[in-house]
Structure 1
Amino acid sequence: MSMKPFERGDAPPDGSASTSQRSVPAISDAQLASVLDTAADGIIIIDEHGIVLTYNKACERLFGYTAVEMLGRNVNAIMPNEHSRAHDRYLKNYLGTGHRKIIGIGREVTAQHRDGTAIPIHLSVGEAVTSAGRQFIGIMRDLRARNESEQRLAQLQADLVRMARVSAVDEMGAALAHELNQPLTALMLYLQAVERACAKHGSGASIPTSVMAILEKAVHEAERAGSIIQRMRQFIEKRDPVRRLVDINPLIEDALELTILGSPPGTRIVRALGADLPQVMVDPVQIQQVVVNLVRNALEAIKGCDVQTVRLSTAWAADGVRMSVLDSGPGIRPEGIAELFKAFSSSKSRGLGLGLAISKSIAQTHGGDLLVDAGGGGRGACFTLLLPLPDATTAGTTTTKDGHNGPERHRGW
């Protein structure tokens, strides 16, 4: 490290130094070098031409250049191109006019690492006049950690606000489902009453057969709407997990009926559900939640694609049952795989980034796992839920908290 920045031993040219000034012991070059090299902030001293005279260890860590590489070099080597071109001009203007833009003030600026990475720093600049000319000392504090913390805090605050909105919508949805259930029930009863009244007239009734068929369809659709709302209420209600032996295929069918409501036209959901699959010991609502999350993500991935298909399959696995959801989208970008199952890492503007994280947690608490094949190169992404077979202690379970028999086929909620 060059130690020529300040000529501390020079006496004033008129020899008028006071006794007290002369009695102050000089700081040795070794002491100054020690102070500079133990400083947490980067310290650079340049002359009036921008040539680096001092460059401490913190600067080496911050910018990637060693002191040997920087001493005697123009300081604009650690500035982005748009700033480096103007730096020499700024120095010349200051020396000519005395007009300060940063000296004695300090502000946030952008520096540049050796590899080209932009580095936000807080720069404070001081000035000293020596017999060798003016020299400028810059103290630089790396702001990346602070900025990242602020960004994380801002993101967490935004996520909390969105979660509050989701919670409000969740409560509204439960209330809406409850309120809609009553008029739908009444509508179904009225339609059934009309159907019975028409049937009393016998074959000689004036009501055409086509009208009776329409009434029957209306009753069927009212029953279907009521069933969907009932399942929605049970899907979102607060409850303790309850595991029981169920067949996986009917469970998936129920979840699909909830998921495809409102899906865009042209979307194809292909089912390839395996036959004679063993029952699994699961919490049905939690597994439905995984299915809903995976299928909704798949529907999101195929938006705008020429072919919009989601293929859902079930089959035997090595030691259990697997369910796979394959989409016809572009696949997952390699840089996104590492963050895929982390909370709050969604790339969607309307998502919280919790769906996959929760789904993997549910799979693992059931003794299974949630795996992903990222696809790409003309293949869509494929998510696979693995569920183990029940062990000997649970295989014989016949009764659960809700009163269902274990071997009974799952038929809905």
Structure 2
Amino acid sequence: MESAALLNAIIENAIDGIITINDRGLIESINPPACRLFQYKPAEVTGKNISILMPPPHREQHDEYIRRYQQTGRGHIIGIGREVTGLRKDGTLFPFRLAVSEVKYSGRIIYTGFIHDLSREKEAEDRLKEYAAHLKDEVEERTQSLMLSVKELEKAKDEVSISLEKEKELGQLKSRFVSMASHEFRTPLSAVQLSASLIEKYAGQSQSKNISKHVGKIKNAVGNLTTILNDFLSHEKLEAGRVEPSPTVFDLVKLAEEITEEMQLMAKKDQNIIYLHTGSNSKVNLDLNLLKNCIINLIANAIKYSGENTFIEFNTELSKSGCTITVKDNGIGIPDTDQKHLFEAFFRAHNTGNIPGTGLGLHIVARYVRLMNGNVTFKSSINKGTLFTISFPEQ
């Protein structure tokens, strides 16, 4: 009696549902978990055929399953972990795992079914499938979007390549044109310059002030045109990467004195260039031509943007810290709003008025100085002048 009571307590308190049927398929017992699963009270199913808990077509076939098993010992009735579908009292279906055992008890055969509800597992599985399907759709959508982006990028790449090729061709044509134009203009300009000098010479003592005046205008115009052509040619060489510094050791003071003498001839009336060198040494290791171009450009600007009866201070200094070159004028100065653009190509300050220029000179100076590993800075105030400083580190 104690064993029977213990067995009954285990069955009643089991987590899974347990149903027993006889050899005719009639329900003999059902525990509370099974009642909750199928929504029946024990009295509503006890003594009835187990097929009441089965949906079609298994309901109609269940008795045949039992008969076949009893005759052959094979069939669907005995099994471990089969997934089947149950029919609740309200007509809804639910999945469960069924394990059936054959038990001989008191000289008769009883079949015991162990029922494990799979509703939550199936719901989770369905959600997982939905999520997987959603991910698959999203991956396909993003893959298509990525493929479209790749095609657009390839198309853009082809367009950019074509544009770059065209730009390269235009750049080469422009460079060739500027070089050709510069050289072609120089020949007639040289002839005009020479002719103006000969007119001045042949006029001799009999020349009038008007002849001298107009010859001077011709020379100035030729000089301005030559400067413009040189600026354009230098800029094109820089853009094409054809300017490579060639450092040599030379006498900086000698170069500065030559430049001072040369530029003094271009100065306005009563403009004076005052040169001063500081330091016991005068030798530097730089590109002579590039440095000469930079100094001439700065002094030419000082002459151009300063008035008559002014001084232009030109200084060089060699010390342990390196080489410093300064050019200071008392001219029109550079507006504060223009100073950040001063070294940009083709930029001219707004207060230059009708003073001729290309806007390339300071851009070329900055590029040449950088090529020689130097630095160029300036300080300027309106109507008080400008100070340019070129510095090179110790060599």
TM-score, normalised to structure 2, is 0.38
**Larger Rg belongs to:** 2
Greater per-residue helix proportion: 2
